[in-house]
């Protein structure tokens, strides 16, 4: 039967059904057809890569086009799910490593950890300010070397007066003025111009020249120490606006400075725009003595490192912070990382260890109880 005849024999309702089916098939065919898109890749001011079909200023050339395929970004906003699917943690400590991060600051590296799902990162202040004990030692050294330099200057002025007396020049106005002004260089320039060439004069000139060189060498070292101390104090007064945060899979981001505790060695940064791994928090008051604890972080730049120890006691420092004493090894680079128990619950922030001859196995962490008190206005 011809198609036209069959169509005429259909009822009006059947015709409508056939038309609807044909229209649906047409739409499905259009959706299933291969599509081609130009995807551009660019890096923002914080160093993060983005993918878009609208070419922004400074974007790279379009990525290679493939029929039916559009390139997807390497990360999703859900970093918690992303890290879990990529690293496949097998136990509580490996899951804890997922919320532990490495931080790069202007003065080096340290560790930290996400404390909520909104990207808040807890760490130590000293990873960007410098060790306060080191700053205090530098200040003492600067004062000591300054006092020694002043003593050496006085000795040189006395030696210069003695030389003038030997030469019968202690009343000569130019020499007297240079010594009264404490200008050793002016004195030595005048002394070298004396028209004498005897052995005693040459010996005194060479000897005083060596002394003056030693004075200037010490003066340069003192100036260098002063600049170093000023830089320490500048960093302490002005925290960096951003630091580089490296996730457990080595992906870098930029995290913004949020706050630092005025009383404790604590600082807070935030990686905005992402859902981040959120740890379960413990309670330092509920830790039995002898409980196994673990310090996570990046000692000496070795990421995803774990050090084991046992909980010893709770202390209070002079500013009232609750301090966990344990036997875990805290080395340069893993301060700021979390102290966790066997279930991966965060108990504190690794902060310091005792370094003293004959003393081993004493480390301190700021309890998470103090962290929550210090940043309760900023944590979500």
Is residue 359 in a domain?
yes
Cα(280)–Cα(277) distance, integer angstroms? 10
Looking at the structure, tell me whether residues 116 and 52 fall in a common domain: no
User: What is the longest distance spanned by two Cα atoms in the chain?
Assistant: 141
Predicted model pTM: 0.63
Is residue 370 in a domain?
yes
Looking at the structure, tell me whether residues 120 and 48 fall in a common domain: no
Is residue 200 in a domain?
yes
Say if residue 259 is exposed, middle or buried (CB neighbours under 10 Å; 0-12, 13-18, 19+): middle
Looking at the structure, tell me whether residues 257 and 326 fall in a common domain: yes
Looking at the structure, tell me whether residues 249 and 329 fall in a common domain: yes
Looking at the structure, tell me whether residues 246 and 369 fall in a common domain: yes
Is residue 70 in a domain?
yes
Looking at the structure, tell me whether residues 189 and 253 fall in a common domain: no
Q: Which CATH number fits the domain that encloses residue 272?
A: 2.40.10.120
The pLDDT, as a whole number, for residue 33 is 41
Is residue 379 in a domain?
no
How far, rounded to the nearest angstrom, does the alpha carbon of residue 104 sit from its chain's CA centroid? 4
Looking at the structure, tell me whether residues 7 and 139 fall in a common domain: no
Q: Provide the number of structural domains found in the chain.
A: 4
Looking at the structure, tell me whether residues 117 and 205 fall in a common domain: no
Nearest to 108 by CA among 301, 330, 241: 301
The pLDDT, as a whole number, for residue 360 is 62
The pLDDT, as a whole number, for residue 8 is 52
Is residue 106 in a domain?
yes
Looking at the structure, tell me whether residues 353 and 250 fall in a common domain: yes
Is residue 261 in a domain?
yes
Phi, psi of 98 (to 5 degrees): -70, -30
Looking at the structure, tell me whether residues 28 and 44 fall in a common domain: no
Looking at the structure, tell me whether residues 249 and 105 fall in a common domain: yes
Q: What is the pLDDT along the chain (380 residues), one digit of tens a residue?
A: 554 555 455 565 665 665 666 655 554 444 444 444 344 444 555 455 444 444 445 444 444 433 333 333 455 689 999 999 999 999 999 999 999 999 998 888 899 999 999 999 999 998 888 766 677 788 889 899 999 999 999 999 999 898 888 878 878 888 889 888 999 999 889 888 887 778 888 888 899 999 999 999 999 999 999 888 888 777 777 788 899 999 999 999 999 999 999 999 999 999 998 999 999 999 999 999 999 999 999 887 788 889 999 999 999 988 889 999 999 988 888 889 999 999 999 999 998 765 445 556 688 999 999 999 999 999 86
Nearest to 52 by CA among 31, 34, 68, 37: 37
Is residue 380 in a domain?
no
Q: Which domain holds residue 41?
A: 35-74
Locate all alpha helices (DSSP H) within the chain, ordered by sequence: 3-9, 12-32, 79-87, 92-98, 126-129, 132-167, 173-180, 184-192, 199-237, 368-374
Cα(99)–Cα(151) distance, integer angstroms? 55
The pLDDT, as a whole number, for residue 63 is 40
Looking at the structure, tell me whether residues 111 and 160 fall in a common domain: no
Nearest to 53 by CA among 76, 37, 34: 37
Phi-psi region of 140 (alpha: psi -120 to 50; beta: other; left: phi over 0): alpha
């Amino acid at each position: 039967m011809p198609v036209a005849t069959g169509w005429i024999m259909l009822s009006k309702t059947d015709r409508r059904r056939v038309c609807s089916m044909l229209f649906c098939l047409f739409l499905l065919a259009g959706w299933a057809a291969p599509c081609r898109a130009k995807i551009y890749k660019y890096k923002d001011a914080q160093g993060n890569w983005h993918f878009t079909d609208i070419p922004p200023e400074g974007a790279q050339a379009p990525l290679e086009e493939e029929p039916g395929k559009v390139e997807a970004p390497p990360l999703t906003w859900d970093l918690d799910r992303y890290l879990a699917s990529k690293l496949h943690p097998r136990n509580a400590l490996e899951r804890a490593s997922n919320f532990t991060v490495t931080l790069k600051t202007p003065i080096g590296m340290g560790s930290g950890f996400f404390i909520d799902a909104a990207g808040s990162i807890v760490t130590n202040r000293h990873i960007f300010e410098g060790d306060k004990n080191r700053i205090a030692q530098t200040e003492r050294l600067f004062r000591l070397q300054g006092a020694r330099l002043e003593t050496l200057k006085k000795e040189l002025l006395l030696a210069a007066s003695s030389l003038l007396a030997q030469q019968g020049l202690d009343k000569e106005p130019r020499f007297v003025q240079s010594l009264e002004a404490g200008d050793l260089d002016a004195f030595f320039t005048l002394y070298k111009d004396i028209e004498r060439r005897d052995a005693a004069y040459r010996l005194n000139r060479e000897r005083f020249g060596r002394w003056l060189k030693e004075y200037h060498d010490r003066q340069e070292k003192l100036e260098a120490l002063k600049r170093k101390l000023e830089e320490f104090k500048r960093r302490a007064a002005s925290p960096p606006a951003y630091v580089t945060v490296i996730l457990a899979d080595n992906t870098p981001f930029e995290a913004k400075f949020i706050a630092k505790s005025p009383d404790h060695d604590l600082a807070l940064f935030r990686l905005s725009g992402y859902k981040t791994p959120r740890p379960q928090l413990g309670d330092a008051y509920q830790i039995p003595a002898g409980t196994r604890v673990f310090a996570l972080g990046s000692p000496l730049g070795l990421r995803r490192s774990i050090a084991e120890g046992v909980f010893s006691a709770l202390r209070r420092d002079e500013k009232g912070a609750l301090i966990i004493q344990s036997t875990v090894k805290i080395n340069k680079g893993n301060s700021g990382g979390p102290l966790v128990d066997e279930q991966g619950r965060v108990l504190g922030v690794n902060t310091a260890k005792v370094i003293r001859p004959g003393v081993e196995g004493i480390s301190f962490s700021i309890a998470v109880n103090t962290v929550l008190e210090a940043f309760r206005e900023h944590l979500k």
